[in-house]
Amino acid sequence: MIVGPAERDAGGRVTGTYYLLRNAVVIPSAALGGYLWEFVSPEVAFTLAAAIGIAGTGYFLLYGEELEAYR
């Protein structure tokens, strides 16, 4: 799903960029979640994670589209 819509002969570059961007978001979010869990409360950590998940799902439902490569 990552390489499919990429330009011809750009699959490696697209995959590497995807993982770089994904990790740039995932690693700090784990640290933030751990901080909230330890110093604020587990309820706040779970509530914030759920809200972000719901917002992401809503965004996908409203604006997501099937790529031509998968039709």
Return the amino acid letter for 34: G
Which residues contact residue 4 at a Cβ distance below 8 angstroms, ignoring those fewer than 6 apart? 67, 69, 70
Residue found under tokens 């409203």: 62
Judged against a pLDDT cut of 70, whether residue 5 lies above it is answered with no
In a domain, 11, yes or no: no
Please give the residue range of the domain that contains residue 36. 27-70
Counted domains in the chain: 1
* 24-67 tens-digit pLDDT: 999 999 999 999 999 999 999 999 999 999 999 999 999 988 77
Q: Would you say 49 and 33 are in contact if contact means Cβ atoms under 8 Å apart?
A: yes
Which residues contact residue 59 at a Cβ distance below 8 angstroms, ignoring those fewer than 6 apart? none
In a domain, 3, yes or no: no
Residue-level pLDDT at 69: 64
Judged against a pLDDT cut of 70, whether residue 4 lies above it is answered with no
In a domain, 21, yes or no: no
In a domain, 59, yes or no: yes
Judged against a pLDDT cut of 90, whether residue 18 lies above it is answered with no
